[in-house]
Amino acid sequence: MATEARITRHPVLPPLSDNWVKFTFNGREMIGRKGEMVSSAVFAGGEHVFGHHHKDGGPQGLFCANGQCSQCTLIIDGIPLKSCIIPLEEGMVVQSVEGLPSLGDIDPPEVKAPERLETDVLIIGAGPSGISAAMELGRSGYRVVLVDDKDRLGGKLVLQTHKFFGSEQDCRAGVRGTEIASIIAGELKEFQSVDVWLESVVLAVFSDGTLGVRRPDGYKIVKPRQLLVAAGAREKSLPFPGCTLPGVYGAGAFQTLVNRDQIRCSERVFVLGGGNVGLIGAYHAIQAGMTVVGLAEGMDRCGGYKVHADKIARLGVPIYTRHTVLAAHGRESIESVTISAVDENFKPIPGTEKNFKVDTLLVAVGLSSVNEFHAKAVEFGIPSMLTGDSEEIAEASAAMFSGKICGRKIANSLRGETVEIPADWLEKAEVLKSPGGAVSEYRESKQHEGVFPVIHCLQEIPCNPCMTICPKGLIITSGHPVKGLPQYSGGCIGCRKCVAICPGLAITLVDYRKKSEFPTVTVPWELGDWVVEKGQTVTVTEWEGETIGTGTVISLKAAPGFPSTMLLDLEVHRSIANRVAGVRVQKSEVTAPEKTVPELPVADSAIVCRCERVTAGEIRQLLREGVRDMNELKARSRAGFGACGGKTCEILIPRIIRSEGIDPDEITDFTKRPLFAETRLGIFCGREEDE
């Protein structure tokens, strides 16, 4: 019964439940999955515009898909609510918010004081770091309350359908993020003293040593002996004209729609940002059957791991380095995006503009740590620590180690004794954080007989499952055991396990044993068995995506022991066989820019504060008047006064300050105040979430 805007088949994700319910959106009947977020159901019904802003009538839509920004507010059964965190129920009446919502009358409710409770450790965030810390504390018998605002454990892992880096032994390299989430969630169950609160949001740290938590069954006030902030990171964004149009959103929102709720929210995607998040976002889009028309990166090369960049280049995604986005165009939602080349000062170079027809622009320009609870706790004298992305933006693999280490440190400080913290944990936590290193030169294999792997991985990254999986131990390194470049040392038996496990999809197997003129090249395949068929001629590329010829599909089979990974056997001429690294699936016509570039709006019209619709020009004007106190800047522009509490604009305003040539030290920060997320007044006096 799925509607058009749903993903009906996915190479990795299992199908979701078939429990459909009816609801209405602006009077139109729609169908959605019971329990999925209302925003997703509305997207699936083909509506991306959730209303129009009361200030200037600008169209509003989903932005964070994470309950933090309120951009997705819809009137649900008469009450304005963030639709991205409200589960869909049969018969819901949903309306867009046109201007300010109205507040309906209700009968006098019962009121009661919230429950107060104590615990040894309160952990905010049940991602890999929070869960790892909880397990260590649980092992020592401490009472832990592990709070997460999502409906399942795992944090960002549950959105990651790709195989993770690292090492097999330390952090399950080669396993997909979604699976790692279920594995560690399962392990956590063993620890009786860990109380998991899902769908619960930490709202504030108070000066009386307590934290306020909104749980589905009501508001709770928790007094911990120790706080651990494992709340992850939030996405940064960029101000450019059109940046608030529905269809422009962060990678996290996109992954939530596509990978968690399996919504086919886009047809044509452009990605801004060549870090791992943007690169993987592009890959996830293609897996979901969308076209990625390009990816722009401001620097000379993508900052993410090279294997990620190469992987999407091979599929046919043009990567525009030294480019930025100038504007998103569209009336009610994004219709096209203009990019341009930038000079060494990141200034756009006139005449280099390109415009692409798209319905989605994914902004993946970095993450910033969610650490405000820690800052408050320190201010109020509550013992507190940071772990995972809240401490330093890194990888899930590193987050698990940093969580474990924190767990033990806390255990030690609470009891004043010493549980050992293995020295290699500290080292691993560091190694797993490593960014990509230098890229070595490509050397073509000269072997034209027998069977052997070709390793198209020439950048040092913390990843080594190919070495540990080889049953003969034939893949070795002369460098660091985890980070060193893998090298094939000869003697391959053709088991193809290295091809199947490599998270970077950077290993192929070439087999000359049957046909030496047309050897078989095995490439890893994660796009589903409907994209290619036996006998088909496909375009093959070398490691960085350059087309080098064609090949014929001989077979496409599941790789035993590697869920959702398939192995694609191609017959390829020996002249190119050793260089084949992948198959191109996007034709260059579909990714070509438009012939003309639309007129560009002035850069100062870019909205910096999306809640209050404050432009870069307005902020600039106040700075030029001499305003240097962020409190004043905010009070006078209203930037940061909106629903999200300044989570987006507080990162953008400093950019404008710098671009005005003002020394950031001249600027006084504004005072942060609760709440972390807007919460209905009734919740504080005994009402429950769904009342």
254 binds ligand FAD (CB under 6 A): no
Largest CA distance in the chain: 83
One character per residue 626-645, x = contact with another protein (rule: CB under 8 A): -xxx-xx--xx------x-x
310 binds ligand FAD (CB under 6 A): no
CB of 666 to another protein, least distance (A): 10
Look at the block and give the residue holding tokens 């060193």: 484
Give yes or no for a contact between 363 and 237, defined as CB atoms under 8 angstroms apart. Answer: yes
Name the pairing type of β-strands 384-386 and 218-229.
Answer: parallel
Binding-site partner at residue 395 among another protein, ligand FES, ligand FAD, none, CB < 5 to 8 Å by type: ligand FAD
Q: How many CB atoms lie within 10 A of CB 565?
A: 22
CB of 280 to ligand FAD, least distance (A): 4
Give yes or no for a contact between 597 and 608, defined as CB atoms under 8 angstroms apart. Answer: no
CB neighbour class for 670 (10 Å; exposed up to 12, middle 13-18, buried from 19): middle
Q: Which stretch binds ligand FAD (CB under 6 A): 142-150, 437-445, 529-537, 563-571?
A: 142-150
CB neighbour class for 350 (10 Å; exposed up to 12, middle 13-18, buried from 19): exposed
201 binds another protein (CB under 8 A): no
Q: Which stretch binds ligand FES (CB under 6 A): 63-71, 113-121, 206-214, 418-426?
A: 63-71
CB of 667 to another protein, least distance (A): 9
Binding-site partner at residue 114 among ligand FES, another protein, ligand FAD, none, CB < 5 to 8 Å by type: another protein
Binding-site partner at residue 380 among ligand FES, ligand FAD, another protein, none, CB < 5 to 8 Å by type: another protein
Residue 15 or 99 with smaller CB distance to another protein: 99
254 binds ligand FES (CB under 6 A): no
CB of 224 to another protein, least distance (A): 13
84 binds ligand FES (CB under 6 A): yes
Number of amino acids touching ligand FES (CB under 6 A)? 13
Binding-site partner at residue 241 among ligand FAD, another protein, ligand FES, none, CB < 5 to 8 Å by type: none
Query: 309 phi and psi, to 5 degrees?
Result: -65, -45
339: three-class secondary structure by DSSP: strand
157 binds ligand FAD (CB under 6 A): yes
Closest CA to 229 of 319, 123, 136: 123
- From the list 43, 50, 142, 164, which residue makes contact with ligand FAD (rule: CB under 6 A)? 164
CB of 83 to another protein, least distance (A): 13
99 binds another protein (CB under 8 A): yes
- From the list 82, 162, 284, 314, which residue makes contact with ligand FES (rule: CB under 6 A)? 82
Binding-site partner at residue 65 among another protein, ligand FAD, ligand FES, none, CB < 5 to 8 Å by type: ligand FES
Closest CA to 175 of 468, 389, 431, 557: 468
Residue list 56-85, contact with another protein (CB under 8 A): 70, 79-80
CB of 283 to ligand FAD, least distance (A): 9
Residue 272 or 644 with smaller CB distance to ligand FES: 644
CB of 398 to ligand FAD, least distance (A): 7
293 residue type, one letter: V
d(CA 50, CA 246): 8
Report angle CA 249, 250, 256 to the nearest 5 degrees.
100
- From the list 136, 148, 310, 650, which residue makes contact with ligand FAD (rule: CB under 6 A)? 148
Burial 610-641 (b: 16+ CB within 10 A, else e): bbbbbbbebbbebbeeebeebeebbebbbbbe
Closest CA to 261 of 5, 584, 544, 461: 5
d(CA 683, CA 81): 14
Q: Which stretch binds another protein (CB under 8 A): 12-20, 93-101, 503-511, 564-572?
A: 93-101
d(CA 628, CA 652): 15
383: three-class secondary structure by DSSP: coil
Q: How many CB atoms lie within 10 A of CB 267?
A: 15
Give yes or no for a contact between 269 and 356, defined as CB atoms under 8 angstroms apart. Answer: no
Distance of CA 654 to the CA centre of its chain: 24
276 binds another protein (CB under 8 A): no
Distance of CA 603 to the CA centre of its chain: 27
Binding-site partner at residue 68 among ligand FES, another protein, ligand FAD, none, CB < 5 to 8 Å by type: ligand FES
Contact partners, residue 89, CB within 8 Å, separation at least 6: 21, 23, 34
Which two structure tokens, joined as six digits, stand for 107? 């009968």
124 binds ligand FAD (CB under 6 A): yes
Which two structure tokens, joined as six digits, stand for 358? 């798209």
CB of 670 to another protein, least distance (A): 10
409 residue type, one letter: K
Please give the radius of gyration of the chain, using alpha carbons only, rounded to the nearest integer.
Answer: 26
Binding-site partner at residue 17 among another protein, ligand FAD, ligand FES, none, CB < 5 to 8 Å by type: none
DSSP letter (8 states) at residue 677: S
Binding-site partner at residue 147 among ligand FAD, ligand FES, another protein, none, CB < 5 to 8 Å by type: ligand FAD
Dihedral-angle region of residue 522 (phi above 0 means left; psi in -120 to 50 means alpha; beta otherwise): beta
64 binds ligand FES (CB under 6 A): yes
Q: How many CB atoms lie within 10 A of CB 377?
A: 25
438 binds another protein (CB under 8 A): no
Residue list 654-673, contact with another protein (CB under 8 A): 668, 673
CB of 199 to another protein, least distance (A): 17
d(CA 588, CA 80): 44
Residue list 389-418, contact with ligand FAD (CB under 6 A): 389-390, 394-397, 399
- For the chain, first and last CA: distance in Å? 30
- From the list 36, 47, 136, 149, which residue makes contact with ligand FAD (rule: CB under 6 A)? 149
526 binds ligand FAD (CB under 6 A): no
Q: Let me know how long the chain is.
A: 691
- Interface residues with another protein (CB under 8 A)? 54, 70, 79-80, 99-109, 111-114, 204, 206-208, 210, 212, 219, 221, 379-380, 627-629, 631-632, 635-636, 643, 645, 668, 673-675, 678-687
Judged by the rule CB under 6 A, the positions of this chain that interact with ligand FES are 62-72, 82, 84
Residues at the interface with ligand FAD (CB under 6 A): 124-130, 147-150, 155-157, 160, 162, 164-165, 201-202, 230-232, 251, 276-277, 280-281, 370, 388-390, 394-397, 399, 676
